[in-house]
Structure 1
Amino acid sequence: MRGGTHVRAVTDATFDLAAGECLALVGESGCGKSVLASALLGLLPENAETAGSALIPAADTADTGDTADTADRVDLLTADERTLARTVRGRRVGLVPQSPAAHLTPVRTVRSQLEEVLRELAGVRRPHLRAAAEAAAERAAFPAGHLDRYPHELSGGLAQRAATALALIGDAPLLLADEPTTGLDRDLVDRTVDELRRHVGDDRALLLITHDLSAAERIADRVAVMYAGRIVELTDAAAFFGAPGPRHPYARGLLNALPEREFTPVPGMPPELSALPDGCAFAARCDRADEACRALPALTDGTACHHPHVDVLEAPRA
Structure 2
Amino acid sequence: MRGGRSVAAVTDADFDLAAGECLALVGESGCGKSVLASALLGLLPGNAETEGTALLASGPGPHGGDRHGGGRPHAGAGERPALDLLAADERTLARTVRGRRIGLVPQSPAAHLTPVRTVRAHLEETVRALTATPRRERRAVAEAAAERAAFPAEHLDRYPHELSGGLAQRAATALALIGDAPLLLADEPTTGLDRELVDRTADELRRHADGGKALLLITHDLAAARRVADRVAVMYAGRIVEIAPAARFFGEPGPRHPYARGLLDALPEREFTPVPGLPPELSDLPEGCAFAPRCARASAACAVRPEFLAGAACHHPLGATRA
Question: TM-score when scaled to structure 1?
Answer: 0.94
1:16 partner amino acid: D
Which of 247, 250, 262 aligns to 1:238? It is 247
Partner of 1:183: 192
The Cα of 1:126 is off from its aligned counterpart by 1.9
Give, in whole Å, the separation in 2 of the partners of 1:75 and 1:39: 12
1:229 matched to 2:235: no
Please tell me the root mean square deviation across aligned C-alpha atoms, in Å: 1.5
Give, in whole Å, the separation in 2 of the partners of 1:135 and 1:263: 40
Partner of 2:264: 255
The Cα of 1:64 is off from its aligned counterpart by 9.9
- The residue correspondences of 1:163-178 to structure 2 (distance < 5 A) are 163-178=172-187
Which of 99, 118, 130 aligns to 2:108? It is 99
- Report the count of equivalent residues: 308
Which of 221, 234, 258 aligns to 1:212? It is 221
1:281 partner amino acid: A
Q: Is the CA contact (8 Å cut-off) linking 2:57 and 2:75 kept in structure 1?
A: no
State the SS of the aligned residue for 2:24.
strand
Partner of 1:271: 280
Which of 126, 129, 135 aligns to 1:120? It is 129
1:32 matched to 2:38: no
State the SS of the aligned residue for 1:309.
coil
- The residue correspondences of 1:132-147 to structure 2 (distance < 5 A) are 132-147=141-156
State the SS of the aligned residue for 1:145.
helix
Partner of 1:13: 13
State the SS of the aligned residue for 2:313.
coil
1:292 matched to 2:298: no
Runs of 4+ in structure 1 displaced over 4 angstroms? 63-66
* 1:208-233 deviation line (CA, Å, top 9, x unaligned): 00000000000000000000000000
Q: Which runs of 5 or more residues in structure 2 are unaligned? A: 63-71
Alignment CA distance shift 1:304-1:179 (3 Å): same
The Cα of 1:67 is off from its aligned counterpart by 3.6
Q: Is the CA contact (8 Å cut-off) linking 2:104 and 2:186 kept in structure 1?
A: yes
* 1:229-265 deviation line (CA, Å, top 9, x unaligned): 0000001000000000001000000000000000000
- The residue correspondences of 1:63-78 to structure 2 (distance < 5 A) are 67-69=73-75, 72-78=81-87
Give, in whole Å, the separation in 2 of the partners of 1:248 and 1:64: 27
Give, in whole Å, the separation in 2 of the partners of 1:64 and 1:221: 15
State the SS of the aligned residue for 2:312.
coil
Alignment CA distance shift 1:63-1:292 (3 Å): closer
Give, in whole Å, the separation in 2 of the partners of 1:183 and 1:67: 36
Give, in whole Å, the separation in 2 of the partners of 1:39 and 1:68: 21
Give, in whole Å, the separation in 1 of the partners of 2:128 and 2:151: 19
Give, in whole Å, the separation in 2 of the partners of 1:74 and 1:203: 19
The Cα of 1:275 is off from its aligned counterpart by 0.1
Q: Is the CA contact (8 Å cut-off) linking 2:103 and 2:176 kept in structure 1?
A: yes
Give, in whole Å, the separation in 1 of the partners of 2:201 and 2:178: 14
1:124 partner amino acid: T
The Cα of 1:203 is off from its aligned counterpart by 3.6
Give, in whole Å, the separation in 2 of the partners of 1:77 and 1:210: 23
Partner of 2:65: none
State the SS of the aligned residue for 1:207.
strand
Partner of 2:313: 304
1:200 matched to 2:206: no
The Cα of 1:201 is off from its aligned counterpart by 3.6
The Cα of 1:63 is off from its aligned counterpart by 5.8
State the SS of the aligned residue for 1:235.
strand
2:245 partner amino acid: D
Q: Which runs of 5 or more residues in structure 1 are unaligned? A: 312-318
2:114 partner amino acid: T
Partner of 2:56: 56
Which of 137, 140, 149 aligns to 2:158? It is 149
